[in-house]
């Protein structure tokens, strides 16, 4: 069977080092806020190219904590896209704010030409989502933000290692928010997230918010050596030692894995460019990290069901844009008619298998199966 994503081949390869690292954590008597997290925070912030980084429970929390640190709350508006994962919007609403949706461009990313007309007196921030592994047009976004006194919170949940003008996503706005959900380009074996910034004050505030509003303290030998005293209202969102240990191992392979993803993308592009599928394009300013490889075809349902017969199981990211979902459509009253591309793409997009251990044999089988199905479509 070929799946769109599969972690088991990786697990077979690194099982011993993962289990050793977890055993080390269990034996260390420090399960939360210990040396593994400190080291991972240090290594990942350096990898991204920022001054400060902190591990949190997941990517949704990362976005929520970022907004809370920027005092974004009730009645404030936050501009983002509707072609994204639900949590981008969950976090905005959790913060008490209102999501305002802007349509996407042909890279499936926020159309920077359409942002200005959505800005009101209530707008506080823009959340560009570097969807599918490709960076948004950050110069334009930062320019608009500066002109209108807005914050920029990058949603980097799908863009670990992706670059814009040779800089990594997560280093391009006020705050960068990452997810290490298992499927991600850098994924753990459970939930985890990360926040990046170059602003010391914001970093310190986010550190308090992630731990119940308390000052940063270390847990040593199972004993809490700080004052159990909340200086502000926070939440509980911690990246534990087990996940930090796994991520430390996986971070070492990240660049190599992105290279493999790019090779797979290159092969898909070369082999499928004249088959009638619309393939993803890489903006010249970017290094695409190919979290997923999204293609378009108006007969996608037929193609996907034919592929299932050949034991290839694909996925759609995302079949329903957020603005049509029951939970969130009330926020789209002002914008739904402006989301033409978002609506159009959602009916045609689907994702081909993409993960570093996808074998050449499986890539070729997928490509040949697609070619055969596409040539038989009338
Ligand atoms: C674009 C985007 N934003 C935010 C998140 C939230 O991350 P998490 O699942 O770790 O909460 C995800 C992952 O699901 C995502 O894909």
Please report where in the chains the tokens 């994962």 appear, as a residue: 85
Domain 254-375 has CATH 3.90.1150.10: yes
Separation in Å, CA 179 to CA 50, 58, 186, 236, 333: 17, 6, 8, 16, 29
CA–CA distance, 174 with 200 (Å, rounded to integer)? 11
For residue 133, which of 265, 252, 271 has the smallest C-alpha distance? 265
Please report where in the chains the tokens 């999501």 appear, as a residue: 99
Residues of the chain with CATH 3.90.1150.10: 254-375
User: For residue 322, what is the DSSP state?
Assistant: G
CB 131 within 8 A of CB 106: no
CA of 103 to the centre of ligand 1 (A): 20
Tell me the pTM.
Answer: 0.97
Q: Are strands 98-102 and 77-81 parallel, antiparallel or unpaired?
A: parallel
CA–CA distance, 240 with 21 (Å, rounded to integer)? 13
Q: Identify the architecture of domain 2-102+109-252 in CATH.
A: 3-Layer(aba) Sandwich (3.40)
List, chain by chain if needed, residues with CB within 6 Å of any ligand 1 atom: 58-60, 84-85, 87-88, 129, 155, 157-158, 179, 181, 191, 193
- Alpha helices by DSSP H, listed for 211-359, are 241-252, 254-272, 300-309, 340-346
Residues of the chain with CATH 3.40.640.10: 2-102+109-252
CA–CA distance, 39 with 44 (Å, rounded to integer)? 9
Q: Are strands 123-126 and 163-164 parallel, antiparallel or unpaired?
A: unpaired
pLDDT per residue as tens, the chain (378 positions): 999 999 999 999 999 999 999 999 999 999 999 999 999 999 999 999 999 999 999 999 999 999 999 999 999 999 999 999 999 999 999 999 999 999 999 999 999 999 999 999 999 999 999 999 999 999 999 999 999 999 999 999 999 999 999 999 999 999 999 999 999 999 999 999 999 999 999 999 999 999 999 986 655 445 556 678 899 999 999 999 999 999 999 999 999 999 999 999 999 999 999 999 999 999 999 999 999 999 999 999 999 999 999 999 999 999 999 999 999 999 887 666 789 999 999 999 999 999 999 999 999 999 999 999 999 996
CA of 21 to the centre of ligand 1 (A): 26
For residue 300, which of 286, 289, 314 has the smallest C-alpha distance? 314
Instruction: Tell the residue nearest (CA) to atom 8 of ligand 1.
Output: 59
User: What are residue 53's phi and psi, to 5 degrees?
Assistant: -150, 145
């Amino acid at each position: 069977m070929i799946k769109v994503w599969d972690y088991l081949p990786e697990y077979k390869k690194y099982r011993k080092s993962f289990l050793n690292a977890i055993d080390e954590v269990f034996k260390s008597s420090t399960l939360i806020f210990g040396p593994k997290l400190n080291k991972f925070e240090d290594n990942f912030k350096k990898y991204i190219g920022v001054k400060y980084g902190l591990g949190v429970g997941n990517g949704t929390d990362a976005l929520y904590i970022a907004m809370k640190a920027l005092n974004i709350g009730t009645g404030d508006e936050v501009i983002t896209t509707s072609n994204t994962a639900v949590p981008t919007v969950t976090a905005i609403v959790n913060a008490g704010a209102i999501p305002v949706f802007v349509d996407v461009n042909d890279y499936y990313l926020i159309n920077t030409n359409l942002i200005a007309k959505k800005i009101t007196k209530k707008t506080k921030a823009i959340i560009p989502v570097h969807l599918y592994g490709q960076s948004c047009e950050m110069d334009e976004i930062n320019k608009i933000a500066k002109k209108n006194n807005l914050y920029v919170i990058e949603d980097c949940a799908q863009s670990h290692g992706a670059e814009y003008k040779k800089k990594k996503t997560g280093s391009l706005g006020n705050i960068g928010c990452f997810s290490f959900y298992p499927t991600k380009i850098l994924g753990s074996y459970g939930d985890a997230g990360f926040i990046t910034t170059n602003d010391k004050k914001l970093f310190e505030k986010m550190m308090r918010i992630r731990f119940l509003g308390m000052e940063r303290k270390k847990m040593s030998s199972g004993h809490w050596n700080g004052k159990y005293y909340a200086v502000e209202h926070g939440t509980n969102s911690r990246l534990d030692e087990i996940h930090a240990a796994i991520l430390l191992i996986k971070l070492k392979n990240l660049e190599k894995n992105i290279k493999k993803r790019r090779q797979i993308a290159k092969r898909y592009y070369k082999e499928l460019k004249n088959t009638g599928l619309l393939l993803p394009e890489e903006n010249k300013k970017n290094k695409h990290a190919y979290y997923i490889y999204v293609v378009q075809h108006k007969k996608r349902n037929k193609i996907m069901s034919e592929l299932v017969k050949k034991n290839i199981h694909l996925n759609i990211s995302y079949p329903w844009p957020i603005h049509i979902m029951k939970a969130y459509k009330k926020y789209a009253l002002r914008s739904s008619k402006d989301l033409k591309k978002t609506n159009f793409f959602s009916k045609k997009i689907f994702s081909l298998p993409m993960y570093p251990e996808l074998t050449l044999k499986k890539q070729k089988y997928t490509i040949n199966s697609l070619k055969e199905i596409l040539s038989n479509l009338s």
